[in-house]
Amino acid sequence: MTNKVPTHIKVLYGVADAGIAMLTAIVQFFLLFYYTDIALLDPALVGSALMLGKLTWDAVNDLLFGYISDRTRSRWGRRRPYLLFLAIPLALTTWLMFSLPPGLTGVAAFLIVLTTYLLFDTLHSFIGVAYSALTPELTQDYDERTALTTVRQIFTVAGYIIGAALATVVADVYKNNFGFSNSASYSAMGLTFGIFAAIVILITGFSVKEKPAEEIETSKMPPIKSFVETLKNKPFVRLMLSFLVSNISFTLLTTLLPYYLKYVVKMEEQMPIVMMTLLLTIGLCLYPMKMIADRLGKGKAYALGLGITSVAILAGFFYPAHPTPLVYVTAIVAGMGLSSQWVCPWSMMPDVIEIDQAVTGERREGVYYGMWQFTSKFANAFAIAAAGWMLSGFGYVPDIPQTELAIFGIRFLFTLIPVLMFILTMPLLIKYPITRESHTQLVEELRQNQELLH
């Protein structure tokens, strides 16, 4: 396989992430809101169910799926079978997750939330790990990996916009045009987005080819040793910690935005427009952020973006308790900064995998992307669960006029907590050891050191 990837393959590869990101968006933005304000479940119960799932099966499935993906051999390759055979089941579990029976309480509610979420999350994980591991499979060229990632992120942002900005619009169409109830309209929305995601994932699965099996070096490490070796990669650990903390902050923002708009600034009807503004700004700033990363280095560009986002979100703490156009200013400025969250970490990942290959002599993309996917999903679930717990702690009661304490809690959780976490992440990124200039030299030095050891 040549290092250059044709443009049409970049597009056909990237299109699957529109579906994956779309489902991620509806979970981040609307799952907790659906549970509390549509299904009328206790937010603390929901948070506990989601967190239990993360601490049990989901604590190991990404790592396991990455390891399995690395060792898969089939006529379709190592990664593609999971896109081809799991896309339709993923659509069905998305529908189930937004289709809770009415009147659930107590243990029944807890178990159904836990079960439907784990079914969805398991399939979403396996597809996500296999899909992400295709990036270094398609090319080993430093610049081509960046180009491939950039095209992918364009589709990622597009899918995220579709999910975040249009989910409530689609639900309203079913409600207003077809007479669906609130709960039935969200169920139909989940099925609609699940089907769309399955279609674009299948397009990539049928279109993108992998290396022939005989050209692939199988990892010979047992699972535990493979994971331990991964954690010895210090640049990866630094990147993973940075991504974990910043992702928790980002998910808190996306999860609490509907509550902030509905209860704090009284702009619930403008929710799709605010989300569209935020995400379109992110999309428009992807290429400028890439240019900044080329100039400053990926770590410093990432830190700069989080700093810009922090300033914008902090301003939201002081906004009046009525509709204000300043919300759109925050959405635009925060979107400019958050473009770094989409460009930088995903383009930094292939660099740390190259370091691992120089040390171990094996290509273990699946293990790395399994741990990366676990970090992302743990951050998402922890943030959603923590939001539920903290909302309950401030006295939030679903879908009624809120107390002053509950409104303050929403304002506090939406602004100050994410800003603090973004700030804590920045030093790790400013001093990130791998730059474009040092990457080639560092890999070569590691290879030479390994040769001296043998």
Give yes or no for residue 344 having a pLDDT over 70: yes
Q: CA torsion, points 411, 412, 415, 419, in degrees to nearest 10?
A: 180
Q: Which whole number is the average pLDDT over 218-227?
A: 69
Q: Rounded to an integer, what distance in angstroms lies between the CA atom of residue 150 and that of residue 373?
A: 19
pTM: 0.75
Q: Which whole number is the average pLDDT over 29-39?
A: 89
Alpha helical stretches, state H, 285-325 = 286-296, 298-316
**Percent of residues, the chain, with pLDDT higher than 90:** 48
At 180 the three-state DSSP class reads coil
Q: Give residue 364's pLDDT.
A: 77
Q: Give residue 439's pLDDT.
A: 67
| Residue predicted with more confidence, 227 or 8 | 8
Q: Give residue 1's pLDDT.
A: 45
The mean pLDDT value of the chain amounts to 87
Q: What's the pLDDT tens digit per position in 241-254?
A: 999 999 999 889 98
Residue 57 Ramachandran class (φ > 0 left, ψ -120 to 50 alpha, else beta): alpha
Q: Give residue 220's pLDDT.
A: 65
| Cβ-contact 380, 365 below 8 angstroms | no
- Per-residue burial over 178-208, b = 16 or more CB atoms within 10 Å of its CB, e = otherwise: eebebbbbbbbbbbbbbbbbbbbbbbbbeeb
Q: What's the pLDDT tens digit per position in 293-304?
A: 888 888 999 999
Q: What's the pLDDT tens digit per position in 372-431?
A: 878 887 887 788 888 988 999 999 988 788 999 999 999 999 999 999 999 999 999 998
Q: What's the pLDDT tens digit per position in 168-222?
A: 999 999 999 999 999 999 999 999 999 999 999 999 999 998 765 555 555 566 7
Q: What's the pLDDT tens digit per position in 123-154?
A: 998 999 889 888 777 876 666 777 788 889 89
Give yes or no for residue 319 having a pLDDT over 80: yes
Q: Which of 39, 35, 36, 44 is nearest to 392 (CA)?
A: 44
Q: What is the DSSP letter of 445?
A: H
Q: Which whole number is the average pLDDT over 432-440?
A: 74
Residues in the chain: 454
At 407 the three-state DSSP class reads helix
Q: Give residue 215's pLDDT.
A: 53
Give yes or no for residue 34 having a pLDDT over 90: yes
Q: Which of 240, 246, 454 is nearest to 367 (CA)?
A: 240
Q: Give residue 311's pLDDT.
A: 97
Task: Name which of 143-152, 220-229, 258-267 the model is least confident about.
Answer: 220-229
| Residue predicted with more confidence, 29 or 288 | 288
Between the CA of residue 357 and those of 7, 245, 266, 348, 391, what are the distances in Å?
A: 27, 26, 53, 15, 45
Q: Give the CB-side neighbour count of residue 236, counting CA atoms within 13 A.
A: 24
| Residue predicted with more confidence, 10 or 61 | 10
Q: Rounded to an integer, what distance in angstroms lies between the CA atom of residue 71 and that of residue 53?
A: 26
Q: Give residue 56's pLDDT.
A: 72
Q: Give residue 141's pLDDT.
A: 67
CATH topology of domain 8-207+220-453: Growth Hormone; Chain: A; (1.20.1250)
| Residue predicted with more confidence, 74 or 273 | 273
Task: Name which of 52-56, 64-68, 275-279, 286-290 the model is least confident about.
Answer: 52-56
Q: Rounded to an integer, what distance in angstroms lies between the CA atom of residue 449 and that of residue 222?
A: 24
Q: Which of 178, 203, 161 is nearest to 26 (CA)?
A: 161
